[in-house]
Chain A
Amino acid sequence: MRQTWLIYRKEMLGMTRSYQLLWVPVVIMLLVVMQPITSYYLPDILAASGSMPEELLAGFPIPGSAEVMVSVLGQYSSFGVLIFVIAGMQVVAGERYGGTAALVLVRPVSSASFICAKWAGQMTLMLISFVTSYAAAWYYTVLLLGPVSWREGLIAGGLYILWLTFAISLTVLFSTLLRGSVAAVISLLLIAGISLGHSLAPSWFAWSPARLLMIAAAAIPGSPLDSVLFPTITTLLLCLACLVAAIWSLRRQGIPDLRGD
Chain B
Amino acid sequence: MTFLHVDMLTKSFGSTTPVKGISFELERGSCTALLGPNGAGKTTTMRMIAGLIAPSAGRISFQGQHHSNGEYRSLIGYLPQHPAFYGWMTGQEFVMYAACLSGMSRKDARRRTTFVLEQVGLAEAAKRRIAGYSGGMKQRLGLAQALVHRPPLLLLDEPVSALDPIGRREVINLLQSLLTETTILFSTHVLPDAEEVCDRIMMMRDGEIVENGELQVLADKYRRPQLIIQVERNNAANEWLQSLRSRPFIQDAQFQGSTAQLTVNNMEEARRIILDEVSSRDIPLLSFQSGTTSLEEMFMKVVTA
Contact = CB atoms under 8 A, between A and B. Distances in A.
Interface of A: 2-3, 6-7, 10, 13-14, 17-18, 98-100, 102-110, 251-252, 254-255, 257-259, 261
Interface residues of B, number: 32
Nearest to B71: A108
Contacts of A252: 54
Nearest to B80: A102
Interface string B84-101: 111011000000011011
29 contacts: A2-B100, A6-B97, A6-B101, A7-B101, A13-B88, A13-B89, A14-B86, A102-B78, A102-B80, A102-B84, A103-B78, A103-B84, A103-B142, A106-B50, A106-B73, A106-B78, A107-B102, A108-B70, A108-B71, A108-B74, A109-B73, A109-B101, A254-B53, A254-B54, A255-B47, A255-B53, A258-B84, A259-B81, A261-B13
Contacts of A104: 98, 101
Contacts, number: 82
B233 interface: no
Given A10-B86, A103-B142, A255-B47, 11 more contacts: A6-B100, A14-B86, A99-B83, A102-B52, A103-B85, A106-B50, A107-B73, A107-B98, A254-B54, A255-B53, A258-B82
B98 A103 contact: yes
B226 interface: no
Nearest to A3: B101
Contacts of B101: 3, 6-7, 104, 107-109
Interface in B122-157: 142, 145, 149
B80 A258 contact: yes
B145 A103 contact: yes
Contact of A18 (B53, B78, B88, B100): B88
A98 B84 contact: yes
Contacts of B80: 99, 102-103, 257-258
Nearest to B103: A108
A258 B43 CA distance: 11
* The 5 nearest A-B residue pairs measured at CB: A99-B84, A254-B53, A108-B73, A258-B82, A17-B88
B9 to A, nearest CB: 15
Contacts of A6: 97, 100-101
> Which of B84, B100, B101 has its CB near the most chain A CB atoms (within 10 A)?
B101
A258 B76 CA distance: 20
A104 B43 CA distance: 18
Given A99-B83, A261-B13, A106 B97 contact: no
B52 A106 contact: yes
Q: Is the interface of A mostly helix, strand, loop or mixed?
A: helix
B102 A108 contact: yes
A102 B52 CA distance: 7
Nearest to A114: B101
B29 interface: no
B167 interface: no
Interface string B172-206: 00000000000000000000000000000000000
Nearest to B53: A254
Contacts of A103: 78, 80, 83-85, 98, 142, 145
B149 to A, nearest CB: 8
A18 B83 CA distance: 21
A259 B51 contact: no
A176 B86 CA distance: 18
A257 B45 CA distance: 12
Nearest to A259: B82
Nearest to B76: A106
Contacts of A255: 47, 52-53
Nearest to A99: B84
A106 B212 CA distance: 27
Contacts of A258: 80-82, 84
Contacts of A10: 86, 89, 97
A134 B76 CA distance: 48
B242 to A, nearest CB: 43
A76 B284 CA distance: 87
Contacts of B102: 107-108
Nearest to B145: A103
A98 B85 CA distance: 8
A34 B13 CA distance: 53
A8 B53 CA distance: 25
Nearest to B93: A13
A7 B84 CA distance: 17
Interface in B29-64: 43, 47, 50-54
Contacts of A102: 50, 52, 78, 80, 84
A105 B52 CA distance: 7
A254 B89 CA distance: 25
